[in-house]
Amino acid sequence: MERARRVLPAGGFGNVSFDIVIREGRGGRVWDVSGNEYVDFLLGSGPMFVGHAHPEVVAAVREQLPKGFTFFANNEPGIVLAERIVEAVPCAEQLRYVSTGTEADLYAMRAARAFRGREKIVKFEGGYHGMSDYSLMSLAPRRPANFPRPVPDSAGIPRSVEDEVLIAPFNDVAAVERLIESRHDEIAGVIVEPFQRLLPPAPGFLQALREITARFGIPLIFDEVVTGFRFAWGGAQEYYGVTPDLCTLGKIVGGGFPLAAIAGRAEIMAHFDRSRVGEDRFLFQVGTLSGNPVAAVAGLATLDILRRPGAYERVFATGRALMEGFAQVLREAGVPGRVVGEPPLFDVFFAEGEMRDYRATLRADAAKQRHVNAALRARGVLKGDSKFYVSLAHDERDVAQTLDAFRHAIATLPGERASAAPE
């Protein structure tokens, strides 16, 4: 870490906020350079859904490497992976590859603008859509503004971008309907995480959003960089039963390598094809590593594993065991808290009341969250500042260790019956 601080701003890559250097990962566990072993619920921020260094993914990559790393041209693994994604994802008729979720979301918004001939994008407060200027509007505002005014989340964003983004509250059908009805002629598209960070959609919210956008001919974009192939074979759009016009994919589809995609209706994806839409409506997009064959074979091997009977049932069973166990520990300890999310992806909010939108999450006790995260790490359980990512590789031993560590973390909360802490 001393070496890192000399050459890296803040001593890191800009990802996790704690001092740790990972040496290797296998299955559902990782080891740091000091030899400490952890049950890994960080999972590289989600891509390692079948576990680290899965033998079948490793074998696929080893087979590809002698054939070449990248070509800046079509390659067979990339074409086959595209076919597999189009077959699986309800909205996908065609797709275009990029290397990161940030790029995918940026191009999805640009495609909506090209298709609609309008400029403004509606996004939801607290929604994360990568690191572009447009996406970093009201992701995590410390002082939320009145809707639909956006709040920039970073230095260096031009003020003019604020005029192109409209902000709505997640899970509030009436508010988003008022916004779209009043400004539909300015709106190019609506982008939403169907499962926003950790917040499930309220019953009927996504269905209403689909109806409102369809009514005015506005493309609906599901950001499925996180949820794609995680909640179901067809992603969150299959899981929740709502089909958007476009979606973005990443993380799992690259098997741990840099690969992402924009997918959707052919008439919108046509804007990536100059011969179909003409020069004025053509959406220019290239990427040095787009459709990289090494990433594509890793993605194909990962999807082959997930397609097997029982794969999703196993992930959901593991996640439910953890969620129910955490809830029981909180009840027994009398600690206010809610386990929020879906079995493949969840966390604990140390607050009372329902968690429906970003502003509700601000009630959570951040100090308790930091204490619990640190206490878990001290007992060999690794997670990010928020989110437990559950993988196919996690097993009963991992669940037992995690619940024991969580029980200890809760018992040692300052002022929360600390004397009950186990030895």
The catalytic site residues sit at 128, 223, 251
Helix axes 293-306, 311-333, angle to 10 degrees: 80
- Give the C-alpha separation, 337 to 157, whole Å: 36
The β-bridge relationship of strands 338-342 and 260-264 is: unpaired
Residue 149: phi and psi, rounded to 5, are: -70, 130
CB 379 within 8 A of CB 298: no
Which residues are bridge partners to 152 per DSSP? 137
CA atoms within 13 A on the CB side of 209: 33
Four-residue CA torsion sign, 332, 335, 336, 341: negative
CA atoms of 26 and 39, how far apart (whole Å) = 10
Residue 187 to residue 182: CA distance in whole angstroms? 10
CA 77 to chain centre: 24
Is-contact 170 199, C-beta < 8 A? yes
- Residues 337, 416: contact at Cβ < 8 Å? no
DSSP SS3 for 302 = helix
Alpha helix ranges (H) inside 223-292: 235-240, 266-269, 274-277
Which is nearest to 292 in space by CA: 257, 256, 247?
Answer: 257
Decide: 249 and 225 in contact? Cβ < 8 Å.
yes
Q: Are 304 and 77 in contact (CB under 8 A)?
A: no
Coil, helix or strand for 420? helix
CA 124 vs CA 15, 46, 209, 217, 324: distances in Å: 23, 22, 12, 19, 29
Dist CA 229 CA 227 (whole Å): 6
CB contact set of 324 (below 8 Å; sequence gap of 6+): none
